Amino acid sequence: MKYTMQNLLKEDRLFSVSQRFKEGARVKDRSLFDLADNNYCDYWQKEAENLHWFKTWDRVLDWQPPHAQWFIGGKTNISYNCLDRHMPALKDRIAYFWRGEYEGCERMYTYGDMHEWVQKCANGLKKLGVKKGDRVAIYMPMIVEAVVAMQACARIGAIHTVVFAGFSSHALAERINDAECTLVITADFVHRKGKKIPIKKQVDEAVKDCATIEHVMVFSTVEESCAMTSKRDVWYHELVEGVANVCSAEPMDAEDPLFILYTSGTTGKPKGIVHTVGGYMVGAYTTTKYVFDIKDSDVFWCTADVGWITGHTYVAYGPMLNGMTQVMYEGAPNYPHKGVFWEIIQEYEVSIFYTAPTAIRMFSKWGADILKAYDLGSLRLLGSVGEPLNPEAWMWYHEHVGNKKCPIVDTWWQTETGSIMITNLPSIDKQKPGYAGKPLPGIEVELVDESGNQIQHGSGLLTIKKPWPSMLRTLWKDDARYRATYFRSPDYDTYYCGDAAAKDEDGNIMIIGRVDDVINVSGHRIGSMEIESALVDHEAVAEVAVVPKPHEIRGEAIVAFVILKEHILPDDALKNTLKKHVVDMIGAIARPETIIFTQDVPKTRSGKIMRRLLREMVHDLPLSDMTTLANQEVVSSLKEHYQFAKSRS
Ligand code: WT7
């Protein structure tokens, strides 16, 4: 295996929390770990009992590898648990402090407000004919209405599929069609860096190709209007005018699907990750509580967009299941100015801040001076997610944001896992820069080699040995792909996450990165084949190979080796056209940073592109095993070509 990071394994700095932190922590000793080690079903069952069930489960777990069912026979509703369960006690507690991106634009939503809104919206959905089991696409900016829409679906048992608003209309249509959604919920405009982006227009473009769509529901965010197609499109405020503000939560089977969230895999087609009501709820609730060591007085800010799993679990559901107060920000970290995040932390006295390594590296590049103008004294715990938090960024976060007093939880998990799997709880374990740490109670991980044999030292494939409640249940309409992607014959009982990792002597896990053809740009997962199919879709392109290369801020950047059709002129204008084409097909997150025109790419005898060699090339690494390479001559010429292209860019 090629993924070694020996220098990182030498890290020996360890950080502990104060005695005071330990004494006040929810997890003070290893008893939860012991309980889970002894019987993980007992551990999860005990956590599930903290939530409301209309009917208790008959059995905790049914595990027929690779399919798990949790809390079988139980009936519950996640929206009920986020809202009704807290009534009337938390009626006046703030659920969200919401900040718009322009000065002075802020709103507060109490649990009482959210309860009323979600019920109204749910009644609105019913008015549009949405029923339990129907799929609803949500394509929204970071406004609280996005959470309202998600919870309204959950309340009536409709399955939501949130599509990040940065995805193009083409990508939106692809997801709507795969899930066969009948409704899209959107907004008229998105505010982004002082501009109003007409997002409803994107939806109009998308639904042209979506035969299953019956309605488009639109939240109005600005005074001006947008084009509405009569009968199909409805304004939310008109729809809910006069509807009842009571809508009782549908008792859902624990194993009913709650949502589908598309994520990239190793083929051109995104995978529809399916999560179910009961298990996901228990995972979101439990991990929020223990990982962030939450207190009633906390103000929690997770900066993720609701379009990603982090925004689902730690913005829309987990914190509300725990009755927490949150901050939600509509805008970018550098608008209206580069100190806006710190201004928000100061203003709302944020105590728990959860963000991505790419943001931390960007802040460090902008310089610590910017932070000095703000009082960040309210912070007590910091979190990171999405990609490896390298030791330099860890130290910067620790020193300049946490003022050397806040522990950092580097949380490893995935869209598929539904909730956090690996991180050191600061009250129990020391923190080690560059390492996510140890698995949470109930989670058992193992590093294995390519043949599935356990590895004690060094690096290997990260696997999960036992099912856990918030694991994905299948891929939407593609159980065969679920089985083939995440499990291996003959037993199909161990989950392969697609990441490589290494372990130190104390059992701390360092995540190295993906071992498949998935690229992680700023914590966003993009399949190399998705980008390749977008590029070959362009008339000038004959063939493409896409690989990641290291990027100082974003973790990885996209490099595309492009073979043009004959007689096409390889100039810079075409490079820009191709980049734009990818943005149109997928979205801005997939824009290649570098395009290299070439005559050929390395291939196996059976014609498979050997991305591994290209990856090594752009990483300036020695090229590994070339025995299966069919076209030897291409490698040296490409290497020269790449060096030349690099020297010019
Ligand atoms: C992939 C999952 C889970 C929320 C956001 C991303 C990478 C995630 C870490 C971490 C190193 C990480 C992995 C993983 N990743 N967290 N703490 N350290 N890498 O969700 O889009 O499903 O991506 O993100 O490669 O497999 P996602």
Per the listing, tokens 């939860």 go with 32
* pLDDT of amino acid 6: 55
Does the CB atom of residue 386 touch ligand 1 within 6 A?
yes
Pocket test for ligand 1, best of 413, 518, 526, 556 (most atoms within 8 A of CB): 413
For ligand 1, the distance from its centroid to the CA atom of residue 398, given in whole angstroms, is 21
Asked if residues 410 and 420 have their Cβ atoms less than 8 Å apart, the reply is no
The CA-CA-CA angle for residues 372, 375, 377, to 5°, reads: 120
CB 329 within 8 A of CB 303: yes
pLDDT at 631: 87
CA of 384 to the centre of ligand 1 (A): 10
Ligand 1: residue whose CA is nearest its atom 6: 386
Pocket lining: 388 vs ligand 1, CB cutoff 6 Å: yes
What is the distance between the alpha carbons of residues 352 and 298, in angstroms, rounded to a whole number?
7
Which residue type occupies 494?
T
Nearest Cα residue to atom 20 of ligand 1: 414
Chain position carrying tokens 């599929």 = 161
Answer yes or no: is the C-beta of 305 below 6 A from any ligand 1 atom. no
Tens-place pLDDT, residues 42-55: 999 999 999 999 99
Which domains does the chain carry? 19-323+415-427+465-480 (3.40.50.12780), 524-648 (3.30.300.30)
**Distance of CA 499 from the midpoint of ligand 1 (Å):** 9
State yes or no: cis peptide before 490, omega within 30 of 0: yes
pLDDT at 642: 79
Give the C-alpha separation, 258 to 58, whole Å. Answer: 20
Task: Enter the pTM of the model.
Answer: 0.94
Which ligand 1 atom is nearest residue 384's CA?
A: 17
497: Cβ below 6 Å to ligand 1?
A: yes
Count of residues in the chain: 649
C-beta of residue 117 within 8 angstroms of C-beta of residue 125: no
Residues of the chain with pLDDT under 70: 1-10, 648-649
Ligand 1 touching residue 351 (CB < 6 A) = no
Residue nearest to atom 21 of ligand 1 (CA): 525
With a CB cutoff of 8 Å and minimum separation 6, the contacts of 456 are none
CA distance 267 to 263: 11
Report how far ligand 1's centroid is from the alpha carbon of 151 (Å).
Answer: 25
Rounded-to-integer distance, Cα 604 and Cα 150, Å: 46
What is the DSSP secondary-structure string of 438-458? Answer: -BPTT--EEEE-TTS-B-SSE
554 close to ligand 1 (CB < 6 Angstrom): no
pLDDT at residue 7 in the model: 56
Alpha helices in 379-467 (DSSP H): 391-396
For the chain, how far is it from start to end, CA to CA, in angstroms? 31
Query: If you take atom 24 of ligand 1, which residue's CA is the nearest one?
Result: 386
- Using a 6 Å cutoff on CB, does residue 498 contact ligand 1? yes
Which of 520, 528, 530, 554 maximizes ligand 1 atoms within 8 Å of its Cβ, making it the mutation to test the pocket? 520
**Phi and psi at residue 442, in whole multiples of 5°?**
90, -10
Pocket test for ligand 1, best of 8, 275, 303, 412 (most atoms within 8 A of CB): 412
Atom of ligand 1 nearest to the CA of 264: 21
Question: pLDDT of 344-397, one tens digit each?
Answer: 999 999 999 999 999 999 999 999 999 999 999 999 999 999 999 999 999 999
Q: What is the pLDDT of residue 265?
A: 84
Q: Find out whether the beta carbon of 514 lies less than 6 Å from any atom of ligand 1.
A: yes
Question: Measured from the CB, is residue 101 less than 6 Å from ligand 1?
Answer: no
| Mutation test residue for ligand 1: of 361, 414, 510, the one with most atoms within 8 Å of CB | 414
Confirm or reject: Cβ of 264 under 6 Å from ligand 1: no
